[in-house]
A and B are shown apart, each in its own frame.
Chain A
Amino acid sequence: MALHSSRPDARTDLVHGTLDMLILRTLQWGPQHGYAIGHTIRTQSSDVLQVEAGSLYPALQRLARKGWVTAKWGQTTANQRAKFYRITPEGRKQLLREQSRWTELVNAISGVMNPSPAPGTGE
């Protein structure tokens, strides 16, 4: 159990990093509260990505700790009290970094999955 306490390894970094990227991306269009973030990710992924609250809220704390988002209490359109998260300039930079890394990864994987003949090797 306490193994969580040890320095996060590369594997968890990847998982965390992806979730962080999704959250930051969601916040790009304006501040949102936790529930809405989860909802947005779910609907935009056509219900494929179900972000559990148990991962979402610790992730938000992590982003806040790193200074990529700030939080502020406010009112929803339905006049509910809620905590709204806003992306910071630092957070935007991080999002760009994550995004380019992600694109690279996706390209790499699709390169393997759908190989096209490499230029110069053909007869």
Chain B
Amino acid sequence: MSIVAWLKRLKPPRLDDEDFQEEIRTHLAIAADERMAAGADPKTARQASLKDFGNVTLTTEAARRVWTPWWLEALRDQANDVRYAIRALAKDPAFSLTVVGVLALGIGLNAAVFTMLKGMALAPLAGVEGSARLHEVFGETSSGRPVPLSYSDYQYLRDHDHAFSGLMGSTLATLGLGRGRSSRSLSGELVTGNYFQVLGVRAGLGRTLLPSDEVASGGNPVVVLSDGLWRHDFNADPDIVGKAVEINHYPLTVVGVADPAFHGTIVSYDDEVFIPVTMTQQLGFTFAGPKTTQGYLRPGTSLADAAGQIDALWKTLSRNRPLSDDTLRLRLAPFWNAPGSPQSYVLPTLVVLSAMGLLVLAIACANIAGLVLVRALSRRGEMAVRLALGASRARIVRLLIVENLVLAVPGAVLGVLLAARGLPVLVVYADWLAAPQRLFLNVDVDRLVVGFAVLVACGSALVFGFIPALQGSRVALVSVINQDASPRGASRGHLRSALVVAQVAVSILLLVGSGLVTRSFDAARAAKPGFDPSHVTSIWVDVKRNGYGEAQGRAFFRQLLEAARADGVTESATLAAYNPMNMIETGAQRAAIEGYEPRRNEDVAFITNTVGPDYFRTLRIGLLAGRAFEDRDDEKAAPVVIVNATFAGRFWGGAAKAIGQRIRVEEGDWRTVVGVAADVKYLRINESPRPYVYLPFLQSYRPGMNLHTRGPSPVKELVARACALVAAFDANLPIDAKPLSERIAGSLVFLHLAATMLFIFGVAGMALAAMGTYGLVSFTVKQSTHEIGIRLALGASGLSVVGGFLRRGLRLGAIGATAGLVAALGLSRLLSSMLFGVSTTDVVTFARALAIVLGGVAVATLVAAWRAARTSPVRALRHQ
């Protein structure tokens, strides 16, 4: 069947027009005959029956409508409206382009934030179908601290659970690829054998890891590469499968390359290798087993069901083995809220960004509403004609709304393009801030984003179009026919004023929000974190990358430290396992405190760092009591420990009382407290004081350490000298050298990005609001040209005319500003989690926002009024 025939069949039944006209003709003929029979002459009879019949066209229309389904006619009407709207808008390109542009800006910012939100919560893992439905299983101590499951617990759950379709585990690890100086540091995951199967990720080449790759400790020397690694570091070698690569100095056989879209399961990290978790020891790690356990719930299993099942399993498991004193409960969390994950940190900030984005959109809508309103006034003639011809108000409102929707679609498309262009710039910026750490941000602008943009655009069109459309359809016919152009309709003036007030209020809100975050970013950068990072190097050396054992490593670090001290440019040198403010939650360790009985449900666990002698002197951290670590605190000496002020205060009531007390970390020796150090910021600049424990490096070996050197020379020089020192011992040892200040800057990356975006939002919102206010004010002034002319002709000075408008403008500005300030005072509290060193009612921020907004209103009013005052009275009066 041809398409035409098929379409014909689809065509609904319709009125036979010819037949109907014929019927009407016969009706008229019969009527005329009857009249003639009653004695009328033929002409009068025909005319009378025609008159009697009424409107033939309308009758035909009505008959036709009987046959058309109501939806078809509505659709046809709609299509007509759209066609008409496009024609009307094309006639007014300045208006149409402005609206599309403003809308595109508003939509673009929101689409960008939505894309990021999607990349964190809605589709967090690229290349993994339905990754938002992943759930994490983790343990929780009685005091609510999340801890990873042990490997054996994981295995028990994996084998016995029925709530999940599968449970896989993984651990993020920083690894060295290759040997020696040419080796490259990369992120990878140590994963369970079912990792790829649970996620449903396929291999692009070769095979993925399989459960058979997780059999015995050290027994599975295989690796799956990411597509990116394969392309960049192995030139997309088609014969890569079966070849050996060296990772952390250990040879692994490549069994496959993962799907190109897949970047691992750690949000924002670009994971490049996937290695069986049974290989952790061979790669030089001290932990065993995966640190996160994740899986998809079976269809039809609710979170509560799954939690119940997991709980029951856990109880069985607990009965069969000795319980530690740290009673664990098993918990389930959706992926976006997985404890300790990047997404769970970032999401609150993104929510704030989304709210700010919506504020910009609100300003954009108010702005467009103003334009639509002004345009509606200039179309009063057209509307009057429509009303006079019998169109209902509802019909006119619909037409105007269709016009707005027609504008919304290109606005959405442009907005999505804007987001698609803008996000890569942001990604490059973030990459630059985070270097050398490789980032992977899942910010693909996909169908979901386009759908969001269209939805928001249409929603906006209804918001900015509805009230003006209602107003526009309310036309007093008489005043239009009398060519009365002055805005007598007081309500329209009110609406314009309301729009000015709304834009002012929302921009205050926006400026306060972005101002608070920007100021707290400045405060964070200027903040004293408790140590002095200037003139200090941070040289990261991981000796297991070159296959060093513990004895070799100990000797190496001891010699390196001696050489660094002996170097002419150094004032002091030390070693430390972690940089301060390193952002990474390193995992607290349980500790026992002599003479302290933990309360029920009290969880005694602290973050520990392993540091060398002179640590506190090199980083200029104050010592409140006792002494620092010294060279004599080696493996043969009595075990010692240093705690921070918060620790000492919490358990012994002061620094001085802490000296001589004893604590034990995990299952280690009892250690005597020999010193109390001042608090510093250990993870983030905005953290609250937390207890912290320092162990001497000679009594607590770690294969990866930072060499810190301090000296008066420029820090670049110090870094180069320190690198040379390391190379002198082992030229093949990979190192990652930076000034300490740069590493700390890395910890501000996210705050930096958020502040940058909020700044963009603030500028965009302010520009839109200024434009909108100027447009509305200048329109009001233009409408008053007549009045100005009269006042000037009667002898008023230009200055007094300008003054009058300025007063009116500022009054509106003041009303809006008051509303905005009240709202900002109420809402800024929601930002508190993002703020540092700035109160939510920061006077400077509020005053600045107020000054900017009122200044903007004043300038807009002045410019518009000044132009009006310069027109000559004669011209103004002749205007109409």
Contact A2 B63 (CB under 8 A): no
Q: How far is the CA of A7 from the CA of B54 in the complex (A)?
A: 26
- A1 interfacial contact with B, CB 8 Å: yes
Complex alpha-carbon distance, A45 and B55, angstroms: 24
> When A54-B54, A57-B23 are in contact, do A5 and B65 touch as well, CB less than 8 Å?
yes
Number of interface residues of A (CB under 8 A): 26
Could you tell me the distance between the alpha carbons of A8 and B74 in the complex, rounded to whole angstroms? Answer: 13
Known: A3-B392, A52-B54, A78-B33. A58 touches B66 (CB 8 A): yes
Q: How far is the CA of A1 from the CA of B58 in the complex (A)?
A: 12
- Interface-centre pick from A4, A7, A35, A78 (highest chain B CB count, 10 A): A35
B651 at interface, CB cutoff 8 A: no
In contact, A6 and B70 (Cβ under 8 angstroms): yes
Assess the B26–A82 pair: CB atoms within 8 A. yes
Most A CB atoms within 10 A — which of B26, B31, B390? B26
Chain A residue numbers with a CB within 8 Å of B65 are 4-5, 58
Q: Is the CB of A7 within 8 A of B70?
A: yes
A residues in contact with B53, CB < 8 Å: 53-54
Nearest CB on B from A75, distance (A):
11
Interface pair A57/B67, CB less than 8 Å apart:
no
A90 to chain B, nearest CB (A): 17
Contact B26 A83 (CB under 8 A): yes
Give the residue of B20, B30, B58, B73 whose beta carbon is less than 8 angstroms from that of A35.
B30
Check B59 against A58 for contact (C-beta < 8 Å): yes
Assembly CA distance A15 to B13 (angstroms): 25
A1 with B392: CB separation less than 8 A = yes
Does B391 have its Cβ within 8 Å of any Cβ on chain A? yes
Query: CB-CB < 8 A to B523: which residues of A?
Result: none
A17 to chain B, nearest CB (A): 14
- A2–B390 contact, CB under 8 A? no
- The distance from the CB of A86 to the nearest CB of chain B, in whole angstroms, is 15
CB of A89, distance to nearest CB on chain B (Å): 21
Q: Using a CB-CB cutoff of 8 Å, which residues 23-69 of chain B contact chain A? A: 23-24, 26-27, 29-31, 33, 52-55, 58-59, 62-63, 65-68
Q: Is the CB of B30 within 8 A of A33?
A: yes
The reply to whether A3 and B73 form a contact with Cβ atoms under 8 Å apart is: no
Per-position 1/0 for A23-55, Cβ under 8 A of B = 000000000011100000000000000001111
The answer on a CB contact under 8 Å between A58 and B62 is: yes
Contact B70 A61 (CB under 8 A): no
Closest residue on chain A to residue B13 by CB atoms: A65
Q: In the assembled complex, which residues on chain A have CB atoms less than 8 Å from the CB atom of B390?
A: 1
A93 at the interface (CB under 8 A from B): no
Find out whether the CB atom of A53 lies under 8 angstroms from the CB atom of B67.
no
Q: Are B73 and A57 in contact (CB under 8 A)?
A: no
A84 to B54, CA, bound (A): 21
Q: How far is the CB of B722 from chain A (nearest CB, A)?
A: 80
Judged by a CB distance under 8 angstroms, whether B395 is at the interface is yes
In contact, B66 and A61 (Cβ under 8 angstroms): yes
Binary contact readout A74-114 vs B (1 if CB under 8 angstroms, 0 otherwise): 00101011110000000000000000000000000000000
Complex contacts, A58 vs chain B, CB 8 Å: 59, 62-63, 65-66
Residues of chain A within 8 A of B27, CB atoms compared: 33-35, 53, 82
Closest CB in chain B relative to A13 CB, distance in Å? 13
Let me know if B29 and A80 touch, CB within 8 A: yes
Which residues of chain B are within 8 angstroms of A5 by Cβ–Cβ distance?
A: 65, 68, 70, 73-74, 77
Q: Give the docked Cα–Cα distance between A6 and B395 (Å).
A: 12
**A114–B736 CA distance with the chains assembled, in angstroms:** 103
Q: How many residues of B contact A (CB 8 A)?
A: 34
State the CA gap A1–B393 with chains docked (Å): 10
Whether the Cβ atoms of A57 and B20 lie closer than 8 Å is: yes
B31 neighbours in A (Cβ, 8 Å): 35
* Alpha-carbon gap, A100 to B544, bound state (A): 97
- Cα A76 to Cα B34 in complex, Å, equals 13
Contacts of A53 in B (CB 8 A): 24, 27, 52-54, 59
Asked if B15 is at the interface (CB within 8 A of a chain A CB), the reply is: yes
Bound complex: CA A83 to CA B63 (Å):
15
A55 to B61: give the CA distance in the assembly, Å: 11
Q: Is B527 an interface residue (CB 8 A)?
A: no
State A1–B77 Cα separation when bound (angstroms).
10
- Whether a CB of chain A sits under 8 angstroms from the CB of B394 is yes
| A81→B30 CA distance, assembly (Å) | 9
Is B77 touching A81 in the complex (CB atoms < 8 A)? no
Q: How far is the CB of A28 from chain B (nearest CB, A)?
A: 21
Contact check: which of B26, B55, B67 meets A54 at CB < 8 Å?
B55
State whether A54 touches B23 (Cβ < 8 A).
no
Write the nearest CB–CB distance from A97 to chain B, whole angstroms.
20
Q: Which residue of A lies closest to B53 (CB)?
A: A53
> Are the C-beta atoms of A65 and B26 separated by less than 8 Å?
no
Cβ contacts under 8 Å, B23 to chain A: 34, 57, 82-83
Within 8 A of A (CB), among B290-348: none
In contact, B63 and A33 (Cβ under 8 angstroms): no
Distance (whole angstroms) from the CB of B48 to the closest CB of chain A: 13
A1 — which chain B residues lie within 8 A by C-beta?
390-392, 395
Once bound together, how far apart are the Cα atoms of A83 and B19, in whole Å? Answer: 9
Q: Is the CB of A65 within 8 A of B30?
A: no
Q: Are A65 and B54 in contact (CB-based, < 8 A)?
A: no
| B binding-site residues for A, Cβ under 8 Å | 13, 15, 19-20, 22-24, 26-27, 29-31, 33, 52-55, 58-59, 62-63, 65-68, 70, 73-74, 77, 390-392, 394-395
A/B interface sample: 28 pairs, CB < 8 A: A1-B391, A1-B392, A1-B395, A2-B74, A2-B77, A3-B395, A5-B70, A6-B74, A7-B70, A33-B30, A35-B27, A35-B30, A53-B54, A54-B53, A54-B55, A54-B59, A55-B62, A57-B62, A57-B63, A58-B59, A61-B15, A62-B66, A80-B26, A80-B33, A81-B26, A82-B27, A82-B30, A83-B19
Given contacts A4-B65, A5-B65, A58-B63, list 5 more A-B pairs with CB under 8 A.
Answer: A54-B55, A57-B23, A57-B24, A61-B66, A80-B33
7 smallest beta-carbon distances between A and B, as pairs = A5-B73, A58-B62, A61-B66, A54-B59, A61-B63, A53-B53, A54-B54
